[in-house]
Amino acid sequence: MRLIVGITGATGAVYGVRLLEHLRRLGGVHTHLVVSAAGWLSVKAELDLSRREVELLADETHPIGDVAASIASGSFRTDGMVVAPCSMKSLAAIAIGLSDNLLTRAADVCLKERRRLVLLAREAPLNLAHLRNMTAVAEMGGTIFPPLPAFYQRPQSVTEMVDHTLGRVLEQFGIAHDLAPPWQGWPAADASTAA
């Protein structure tokens, strides 16, 4: 399996980095990493990781300006792409097919080839342009996946909240994981009083 991981400058670089860590640990997925210039700034500011430390988590890393890279072509088979996090700038470029760098080109390839594209869109509150861009990507077959915590799992740390979201992302690609147990429903006594 081949999966492209993109990291942009929106807050939440931990999602992309933890995704790479989990994919390496789980095995069976060859990862291609592409990070925007602002994405590298977020990695440093939020995680205090060097570029080299993050690049070592991926099987292959591509410079953002290398629009001649393998992942820029539909003839290079992948199983899709996750942009984690996805800034509103990158979302807008993907929504209009701008392909102004390798990250947005790789996303465009996924859409045109009908491959899975999952965008962990990170912004709040959302304005009308954001919502329209999300709609455009969804209409083209992409999945808008805001990284929202699930409190019903009663997370004890930020890491647990991040990993629960990433478990759901892995499920989008049929990748088995141990990051979050599946929901089994409320206990019968609690459910009857909820109404």
104: annotated binding-site residue?
no
pLDDT tens column, 89-112? 999 999 999 999 999 999 999 999
Count CB neighbours of 190 within 10 A.
Answer: 9
CA distances to 112, 150, 153, 154 from 189, in Å: 49, 21, 18, 18
Question: Annotated binding residue at 77?
Answer: no
Residue 15 among known ligand-binding residues: no
Say if residue 50 carries a ligand binding annotation: no
Query: Range with the lowest mean pLDDT among 4-18, 43-57, 177-191?
Result: 177-191
What does the pLDDT read at residue 152? 87
168 annotated ligand binder: yes
Taken in order of first residue, the domains within the chain and their CATH numbers are 2-194 (3.40.50.1950)
Encode pLDDT of 118-173 as tens digits: 999 999 999 999 999 999 999 999 999 999 998 988 999 999 999 999 999 999 99
Please say if the pLDDT value at position 189 is more than 70: no
pLDDT for 181 = 83
pLDDT tens profile 35-90: 999 999 999 999 999 999 999 999 999 999 999 999 999 999 999 999 999 999 99
